[in-house]
Amino acid sequence: MKKVFFIRHAKASWKNSQTDDFDRPLNKRGRKDAFLIANRLKEFGIKPDMILTSPAIRAQKTAKIISKILEKEYILVEDLYQSSFEGYLELISNIPDKHETIFIIAHNPEITLVCEYLTDLILGTIPTSGIAAVKLNCSSYSQIGEGCAKLLFFDYPKKHLKKT
């Protein structure tokens, strides 16, 4: 059963307006949220066979935190930064079938659009540090297409804020 976890990078800093988009680091909340989601994944026993991440600094830092908590190395994928919807689909369709559970740590709007396309659902947007996990209804990543997946869960840090 193939599963893809679409994970949006954690919240990035806009502190320095001179910083290029690619080089923006995580802010304090982003680091905290990345640890929260990584620990939730660990708590539920979710282990990826492969973690693919955008090379943008905010995505790499998110991947580094998740990688450390889940004890799995990540792979930088140039095509996950400033790629298209079609580029993301092509990337997924070329994942070797020996991998059952894949994490893709990347950017909006592409991860939300691809997740919605695969599930035929309207999520609106995957927020920073959000996870949309899907189960594919096919035995090979090369068979992905519209409506070929079921949403397993949609989680994000703001769901876990304590109400006062």
List domains and CATH numbers for the chain.
3-12+23-160 (3.40.50.1240)
C-alpha 20/C-alpha 30 separation (Å) is: 18
Report pLDDT for 17: 74
Write down the pLDDT at residue 15: 77
d(CA 53, CA 136) in angstroms, rounded, equals 20
Return per-residue pLDDT of the chain as tens, 164 residues: 899 999 999 999 877 777 788 989 999 999 999 999 999 999 999 999 999 999 999 999 999 999 999 999 999 999 999 999 999 999 999 999 999 999 999 999 999 999 999 999 999 999 999 999 999 999 999 999 999 999 999 999 998 876 65
In the sheet that holds 101-106, the strands lie side by side as 74-76, 50-53, 101-106, 3-8, 131-136, 149-155
Q: What end-to-end distance do the CA atoms of the chain give, in Å?
A: 40
d(CA 48, CA 73): 10
Residue reference for tokens 């400033």: 82
Q: Given phi > 0 = left and psi -120 to 50 = alpha, else beta, which region is 147?
A: left
Quickly count: other Cβ atoms within 10 Å of residue 82's Cβ. 13
pLDDT at residue 161 in the model: 75
Q: Phi/psi of residue 126, each to 5°? A: -85, 115
Q: Which residues pair with 106 in a beta bridge?
A: 8
Minimal CA–CA distance to 34: which of 162, 126, 128?
128
pLDDT at residue 93, as a whole number:
97
Q: Is the peptide bond before 127 cis (omega within 30 degrees of 0)?
A: no
